[in-house]
Structures are given as structure tokens and as C-alpha cells.
Amino acid sequence: MPDLIGRIAPTGMAAAEGWTLERLTPPSRLYGANGLAVGPDGRLHVAQVGGSQVSAIDVDSGTIDTISPMGGAIVAPDDLVFDEAGNCYLTEITEGRVSMLTPGGQARVIHGDIPVANPITWHQGRLIAGECRMGARILELAIDGGAPRVILDGIPMANAFQVGPDGKLYVPVMGANQIWRVDLDTGAHEVVAGDLGVPDSVKFDSKGRIVTTQVASGQVLRIDPVSGVREVLADLGPGLDNVAFIGDRLFVSSIPGEITEILAPGKVRPVVARALQWPLGLAMGADGALFVADGTFGYTLEPGGAPQLAGMIFHPGCPGYMRGVAPGAQAGEWIVTTGLGSVARYRPGEGASDFLSHGHDRLMGVAVAPDGAVIFAEQGSGRVLRADNGSVEAIAQGLDQPTGVAIDADGVVHVTEAGAGRIVRLSGGRAETLLDGLDRPEGLAISGDRLVTLDSRAKALVACSRAGDERALLATHLPVGAPPGVTPRYLGPIGDMAGPMINFADVAAGTDGTLYLSGDAEGSVLALRAA
């Protein structure tokens, strides 16, 4: 049957007696939205890097079907294109390769060794792909697996491109903030447009005009490639990613999972509403605003309000792909861990970050001690580290995937070991078990006299006293972790833009006892309150 929801939504969420559970943000229907292409069936096909999924949307009914599912052969698809026979070619950005998906659903790799593989197009029997990295290449690929031909190299981040009516390839060059016109045979190129809003896609309408999305500014521009005259078709907010036409109907994707039809300049119709992509880390500020780390984006969520964009990786001062978060010493300051292995003090209102440490392996949760030291979990190495006054030292080693961090008023550090299924208390470099027998505890918070962890595999919120006894289930059947029966593929780094896209189902505690949960399986934030 068609999946009217799009993203798999769990049923039967339940809170323990004496508690109520609600969603503060609506679930997302997609695992983000990246490349767009119209399939032979006339539906809009959407590549979703974060979910390793390809979906097809009926843009009139809103029905969404899964074409290539999470856990399938296609991993982290970023862009896609169809040939005349209905074969779909996809760039798998974290895998550095291009694959083909036949109309019958069979997948095979066309070519590997394409770091940060991103843009792809098909033109008169020619398959052309490129890389979204500094020093990128544009390649013509042989369908039979033969050696590729380099059309052009040394490009500062190529993204979604298309061949124009003149037979030249039009390339959004993100690192130069320009659009280039490239001769497919010689590689000769020239600048068509510059001083944009960081262009990340170029497509052509039926009149031969460029339509291009701007990831940083959020504008959709129409540009005459001859005169250079440009027009703003829509201003949809930062994060735009790609463009597709169904006839003369124009559709635009946004990284958080939004699909919008542009009806006329300034007039739009939502097809799939914008939502959160994961989310990952959560932190409650002293002003009552919840910070939501959503990978590429960071949001603040005020009581009773909708998420407000605080920053993103293409904004000045953003420290990078955000995973763990804790409140800083000042209002509007947040301590974040990034996918590229850094810890930073981030002040999105100022557009500034101060880095505390670099070079770590799969950073997860972070917390601030009463003395101001920053404590963070390095899942890849099994260490918990302390950053203070310019120095960084390990306070625990040999842990099994340390993930969540919580510190009590006395400065005692508590950590979840996702791999060992337990909560530990650190003392003198040793880890003392407080609660074990968990499946995969990730986020950790202290609420009153309780430790609370979000178990992504059991899909439950579990609490115990700070002594480790009085275990209690506070909520079950939560939208966290992978869907039942699915083993997600590991999503590695995207060049130097984002590190491994590892999920982190976090929990944060409010001063009033409310517990905030990352519903990473459906892209929502939930609140659990005492009834």
C-alpha cells in the first residue's frame, strides 16, 4: 500500500502512570530531502542522505512510497537522475560512489572512488557526475564500469548540475559562490553568475532560464543565462538543496525534509512540510529555551512555539555538524560536539564559536561541570574527556561506546555506555555500574534525584535513583532508533563538511521536571510531564 505518512511512525507510544507524553514538533515525512528527479511514472523522486532512502511523491495527493528503503543496497543517496530506459543513477555521498537502480529494483555500483559524490545528470546517453569538495572533479562515467573521463578538476565544491539548451554543463560552485558554464568535451569554463547565496543546484525551465537554489540564503533564483538578469522566485529559508520540474511545475527540496511547489514569484504551495531531520542532542537553557542539535542545523524551541533556526553549517561561526549540546555559562551560548570531532562554545546570535578541542573520534554527549569544565564522551575511543582552561585530559578510558553525559551538583560524572547497556558513575578514573541490563542507552539527564536515560533499542525512557536502584519505565514504544527489523548502514563523513552521521537519541531535563526527548526515528521532539 502507499505510505501516506512517508516516514515510518511508531504506534502505541505510552507514558507510565502519572505521566503524560506529547510531541512538541510534528514528525517529519522524509529523512531529509536532497536530490530531486522526476521518474518515468511522473512522480517526484527524493534522495535522502540521512535515511539512506529514496521515496517517490505524488505531488498532488501527497502520497509517499518508498522506492529504496533504509537498510537496502543504496546508502546515503544525495542526487539522482533517470535515463530513457527508466534506470535511476544515484550518487552515494558517504560511500564515494555512483550506483544504478533498475526499474525492477536491482542495484549495482557503476563507479567508486568518487570522494563526496554528489551531483549527477544524464544527457544524450552520457552520464556525468561530480564531487562536492574542494578540488572537486566532474567526470563522465562509463555505464559498463570502464575508466571515467575527467571533464574538469580543481573545482571548489560542485553541486547539482544540468546541461543547458546550449549543450554546456551549468554547475553551481559552492566554494566560489558562483555558477559556471563548462564545455563537456574540453573542460573550458566561464562564470555565468556570482555573488549569490551559496548556490547548490542549477536546473533549466522550458524557456531556457536557470533556476537555482541558495542553501545559505534560502532563496530560489531565476537567472537569464544570456543577460544575467535575475529574479527571486521564493525565499524559503536556509537549507534549500535541489530543483525539479514536472512539465512547467517547479518543485524545490530543503535539507530538513521539505518539498515546496513554487506557483509564481512569491507564491508557494507546501507539498511536504519542513520538520526536524533527526533530532540529536537537546539542552535546556536557563531562559527556558530548548536547543535542538539537528546535525546540519541548530534550533531553539520556546515553550508553546515552533523551532526557530539558530544556525547551520553554512552560516558564519557555526562549528559544524552538531550532535551533542549543553547550555553554556551565558544566555545564548551552547557547548556543542560536532560530527568532525570538535568541541566548541557556540554563540549563534553572534555568529561565533570558540573551539575547545579537535580531532576526536565520534563525539556524542556533553555536559558542563559546576566548576565550568566541559565533560564529553568520545564514543569511538571509549573515553570520557575533560576540557578546562585550555587543557584536555581523559577522566575515563576503556568504556564501551560512552554516549550520554550528566553531572550532578557535586560534580560527579555519570555516563551511559551504549555498547555495554549500562549507566556508570565515574570516580578516580574508574567506572562504577549503577544500572545495567539496558539495550542501548544513549542520552542521559539528571532530573531531581533521578538519572534518566533514553534507550534507543528498547525504545524506552528508563529512570533510576542516583544510587542506581528504584528502576522505573517512564515511557515505552518511543520513536527512537532504527525501525524494527532494520539495520541502518553506517553513514561516514561527507568530506570536511560533516563527520559520520551517527544518531544520538538524547534526553534533557527542565527545571519543572519536564523531560524532553529526541524522537530521532520520526524527526520530532517529545515532552514527558508529570500528570
At 172 the three-state DSSP class reads strand
* In the chain, domain spans: 29-272, 282-483+502-530
Q: The C-alpha cell of 38 is what?
A: 522526476
- CA 271 to chain CA mean position, Å: 20
pLDDT of residue 11: 61
Half-sphere exposure of 77 (CA within 13 A, CB side): 33
Task: Identify the bridge partners of residue 126 per DSSP, sorted by sequence position.
Answer: 123
Residue 524: C-alpha distances to residues 27, 257, 274 (Å): 5, 12, 11
pLDDT of residue 2: 34
Which pLDDT tens digit goes with each residue over 229-255? 999 999 999 999 999 999 999 999 999
Q: How confident is the model at residue 287 (pLDDT cuts 50, 70, 90)?
A: confident
Separation of alpha carbons 383 and 396, rounded Å: 5
Task: Identify the bridge partners of residue 149 per DSSP, sorted by sequence position.
Answer: 140
Amino acid at the residue 299? Y
Pair 240, 309: CB distance under 8 Å: no
Sign of CA dihedral 299, 235, 180, 52: positive
Q: How many residues does the chain have?
A: 531
Q: What is the pTM of this model?
A: 0.91
SS3 content of the chain, % helix, strand, coil (to 5): 0, 50, 50
Which pLDDT tens digit goes with each residue over 143-192? 987 899 999 999 999 999 999 999 999 999 999 999 999 999 999 999 99
Separation of alpha carbons 205 and 164, rounded Å: 10
Report the top-level CATH class of 282-483+502-530.
mainly beta
Pair 349, 332: CB distance under 8 Å: yes
* Residue-averaged pLDDT of the chain: 94
Separation of alpha carbons 88 and 110, rounded Å: 11
Amino acid at the residue 438? L
Report the top-level CATH class of 29-272.
mainly beta
Separation of alpha carbons 447 and 301, rounded Å: 20
At 310 the three-state DSSP class reads strand
At 472 the three-state DSSP class reads strand
Pair 90, 47: CB distance under 8 Å: yes
- CA 412 to chain CA mean position, Å: 32
pLDDT of residue 409: 94
